[in-house]
Chain A
Amino acid sequence: MSVATRLAAVPGLLLSAPARLIELPMAGLQKLLGIRRMPWVFLTPNLLAVLLFALLPVLINVFYSFTGSDRLYPQDRSFVGFDNYATLLDCGNYLDPATCSRDLFWRALHNSMIFVPVQVTTMILVALITALCLNRDIRGRGFFRAVFFFPVMLSPVVVALTWQWLLQRNGAINAILDFFSLPTFNWMVFPQSAFPWAVFVTIWAHMGFYTIILLAGLQSIPRDVYEAAKMDSASPWRAFTRITLPMLRPVLLVVFVLCVIRSVQTFDELYVLTGGGPGSATMLMVQYIYEIGFAAQPRNFGLAAAASLLLGIVLLIFTALQLGLSRNSRDG
């Protein structure tokens, strides 16, 4: 028995006493309802939770997006039609956020539209190179795999504080620059430097996750394909473009979609690292929703709901894409 299996037994042991108390009423319930209705008894708690905290909220969200006022409870809210959407989308010139009635929304959208493509392409590229390196027959492979993976386990707050400590004015990054007699910067004060660091830190934190998936994909490519290529004296580069990439394609697609979905929802790390600043230079969509619905006074739940619904539609498209892709890769 491995450590994890033994750990999983602990809650089981703790629950054995209350479980005995449940056994009698459950047996009674079975007598009452008959064995054919028992699956519904088992399903009910989970279905209730799903209904209450996932499916119902979607409907309520739609309702919120069509109603106004800063009151939380639905009975206090008045119907305003598409006003919330109109407010969000009201813009003199869509390329210039300053002309929009909700300029912060457009800045967040604008930031996201730069952040997501840059972060996703860099992340996948670096993760792919790392996975290729880790897939080779080298010394210390397990060690290096752990090194690249462990930031995934760190909490976003810890990640953000770690890099804040390194990037502050008297931090280690500036000390290194100073050691080589290079000019030092106050990184987090200027948008031009804060944004690239925001991208870098999120890649640093999540890269290992995608590396692991890609590595599993690489290891599932049968070895004899490479042996055959070796017989035909194919160059390593040719083997990579003609064998590795095509066979890795389904996994790469899944990683791509997962990465986009996560990237669009980036919030925790940047909220602590930059707070969306300087100004609104690193504010992304989810932080906008948080700011307008929860942090700002008065709370504008209607606008927040409308913005999250728009975000949800984008995510839905990518999730549907992912489900389709993973089904394809499983069937094929």
Chain B
Amino acid sequence: MADTVTMGRTMSPRNLLLARRGGKKLHWTDILTYAFLGAGFLIMFLPVLWVVVSSLKTPANLSEFPPTLMPSTAQTSVVEGFKAPLPLFEVTTKDGTTKTLAQIRRVGLNAQMIDPANPEAGKIVVKVADAKPLRKFHLAFENYSELLSSTGGSDIWRYVYNSLFITVIATVITLVMNSMAAFALSKYRFRGSNTALVAILATLMIPATVVLVPVYLIVSELGLVGNLWGVILPTVATPTGVFLLRQYMLTIPDELIEAARMDHASEWRIFWRIILPLSSPALAVVAIFSILSRWNDFLLPLIVLNHRESFTLQLALASYQNENGVQYDQLLAMTTLTALPLAFAFIFLQRYITSGIASTGIK
């Protein structure tokens, strides 16, 4: 497995279409390739970058159109005699010079301003058209701190806990159950082993979307509607996990097991102490895919988890806008936070994930 896993090495074969190494000129196909990949980079990456940038904007900044490229906020200044800080404007006076003034209030097309450097001079009336707001670069980390603080009214830690609980428990159960089945199907010869293998693999043909109603019935018969276990149990018997692990265990020599039996090790001990540790590369691939699919799962939680306390992060995120109006500052911060763990996972495990997909065609 570890060998098939490294498909993305830089030593891959180069074909005829490639530019000659060390060639001075770029072939026209190279230019086309770079143009395509460059455009792809913009389309794939900029939307996500834009969400992250937007999540650091203040609500006032978010409602602007056209939007500012960088998160920014109005510059303000505390002027004697006024309690609240006043927003600063750059005003073009009649003689063509520019001055920085603080706005007290706006009346129709005119604004009452005051010179912050010289407040004694009194109020100055300025046409709104002549005044440009002064802005400064400002990262609104308060979007995040508000979201994460318990006083913000959002139960985000509850959702994080629910998501983590489902992901971790379901993955551990999947790994143990799938490897037990894989062990039986790879290291024993017994009647019915083929039937069992076919029965497990046949579930590949039953997509979750097709058995939505009966799975809901079984979950509710078990009394698990609204319970995190109602999301965990229906997904633990992943056929792909059994398949991957079985294929890997077939490559472990049987002599190891024979030797252990000579030493009177029990079958469980052989499985737990010999086969499982040796299967860790395959277990890693199964674990990664299990974690990914559980963390991102939506449809099953949507039908099983029917009250807010049991919501996963994904459900909370999807229902966020309906209940709070459109509070984009919090929503964008939450979106970024939900995607963050996967971004980290991606950076460290990219090779495993892509090779897992390439070798099995399963996500």
Q: Chain A 295-311 against B: per-residue CB contact (8 Å), 1 yes, 0 no? A: 00000010011001101
Those of A194-248 within 8 Å (CB) of chain B: 204, 208-209, 212-213, 215-216, 219, 221-223, 226-227, 229-230, 234, 236, 239-240, 244
Contacting chain A: which of B101-109, B117-125, B128-136, B342-350? B342-350
Chain A residues lying within 8 Å of B51, measured Cβ to Cβ, are: 161-162, 165
Find chain A residues with CB under 8 A from B262 CB: none
Q: Are B15 and A226 in contact (CB under 8 A)?
A: yes
Q: Which one of A51-59, A97-105, A109-117, A185-193 is at the B interface?
A: A51-59
Q: Tell whether A150 is near chain B: CB-to-CB under 8 Å.
A: yes
Establish whether residues A290 and B287, one from each chain, have CB atoms under 8 Å apart when the complex forms.
no
* Stretch from B90-98, B142-150, B330-338 that touches the partner: B330-338
Q: Do A149 and B354 form a contact, CB below 8 Å, given A155-B339, A170-B67?
A: yes
Q: How large, as a class, is the contact surface on chain A? A: 35 or more
Contact A219 B218 (CB under 8 A): no
Report the Cα distance A158→B177, complex, angstroms. Answer: 31
Q: Is B13's CB under 8 angstroms from A222's CB?
A: yes
Given A219-B13, A308-B209: A64 touches B214 (CB 8 Å cut-off): yes
How far is it, in angstroms, between the C-alpha of A45 and the C-alpha of B8 when the chains are bound? Answer: 36
A11 x B287 contact (CB < 8 A): yes
A166 with B47, Cβ < 8 A, contacts A135-B15, A155-B342, A157-B318 known = yes
State whether the Cβ of B234 lies closer than 8 Å to any Cβ in chain A.
yes
CB-based nearest B residue for A62: B214
Choice from A64, A130, A165, A294 contacting B40 with Cβ under 8 Å: A130
User: Is A49's CB within 8 Å of the partner chain B?
Assistant: yes
Question: Is B353 an interface residue, CB under 8 A from the partner?
Answer: yes
Instruction: Count chain B CB atoms within 10 A of each CB in A4, A58, A178, A222 and give the residue with the most.
Output: A4
Q: Which residue of A lies closest to B16 (CB)?
A: A226
**Contact call B268/A45, Cβ cutoff below 8 A:** no
Give the chain A neighbours of B188 by CB distance below 8 A.
38-39
Do most interface residues of chain B lie in helix, strand or loop, or is the interface mixed? Answer: helix
Q: Does B207 contact A (CB under 8 A)?
A: yes
Complex CA distance for A139 and B91, rounded to whole angstroms: 50
Q: How large is the interface on B (under 10, 10 to 19, 20 to 34, 35 or more residues)?
A: 35 or more
Residues of B within 8 A of A12 (CB): 276-277, 280
Q: Which residue of B lies closest to A313 (CB)?
A: B210
In this assembly, does B199 line the interface, its C-beta being within 8 Å of a C-beta of chain A?
A: yes
B217 x A72 contact (CB < 8 A): yes
- Cβ B212 vs Cβ A36 within 8 A: no
B250 within 8 A of A: no
**SS of A interface (majority):** helix
Is B65 in contact with chain A by the CB < 8 A criterion?
A: yes
What residue in chain B is nearest A130 (Cβ atoms)? B40
Residues of B within 8 A of A17 (CB): none
Interface residues in B233-270 (C-beta closer than 8 Å to A):
233-237, 239, 242, 266-269
CA distance A10 to B358 in the complex (A): 26
B78 interface hit (Cβ, 8 Å): no
Q: Are A3 and B15 in contact (CB under 8 A)?
A: no
Q: How many A-B residue pairs have CB under 8 A?
A: 352
**Is the pair A50, B237 in contact by a Cβ cutoff of 8 Å?**
yes
Q: A261 near B: Cβ within 8 Å? A: yes
Contact status A11-B177, CB under 8 Å: no
Whole-angstrom distance from the CB of A46 to the nearest CB of chain B?
4
Say whether B203 faces chain A, with CB atoms less than 8 Å apart. Answer: yes
A286, CB-defined interface residue at 8 Å: yes
Q: Chain A: which residue is nearest B38 at the CB level? A: A144
Q: Is there an interface contact between A36 and B190, defined as CB atoms closer than 8 Å?
A: yes
Task: Knowing A23-B266, A39-B188, say if A240 contacts B17 (CB, 8 Å).
Answer: yes
Answer whether A5 and B281 are a contact pair too, CB < 8 Å, given A39-B193, A293-B212. yes
CA distance A58 to B200 in the complex (A): 14
* Chain B residue at minimal CB-CB distance from A45: B177
Contacts of B338 in A (CB 8 A): 155, 157-158
A227-B16 in contact (CB<8A): yes
Chain A residue with Cβ nearest B45:
A147
Binary contact readout B259-303 vs A (1 if CB under 8 angstroms, 0 otherwise): 000000011110110001100110111011000100110110011
Q: B183, A42: Cβ atoms under 8 Å?
A: yes
* A81 contacts chain B at the CB level, 8 A cutoff: no
Closest chain A CB from B315 CB (angstroms)? 8
- With both chains docked as a complex, state the minimum distance between the C-beta of B278 and any C-beta of chain A, in angstroms: 11
B304-363 residues with Cβ-Cβ distance < 8 A to A are 314, 317-318, 328, 331-332, 335, 338-339, 342-343, 345-346, 348-350, 352-354, 357-359, 361, 363
Other 6 A-B pairs with CB < 8 A, given A61-B210, A294-B303: A26-B266, A150-B343, A154-B296, A156-B296, A175-B65, A326-B361
List residues of chain B with CB under 8 Å of any chain A CB: 7-8, 10, 12-19, 21, 29-30, 33-34, 36-37, 40-41, 43-45, 47-48, 50-51, 54, 63-67, 171-172, 175-178, 180-181, 183-185, 188, 190, 193, 196, 199-200, 202-207, 209-218, 220-221, 233-237, 239, 242, 266-269, 271-272, 276-277, 280-281, 283-285, 287-288, 292, 295-296, 298-299, 302-303, 314, 317-318, 328, 331-332, 335, 338-339, 342-343, 345-346, 348-350, 352-354, 357-359, 361, 363
3 A-B pairs with least C-beta separation: A49-B237, A216-B358, A57-B214
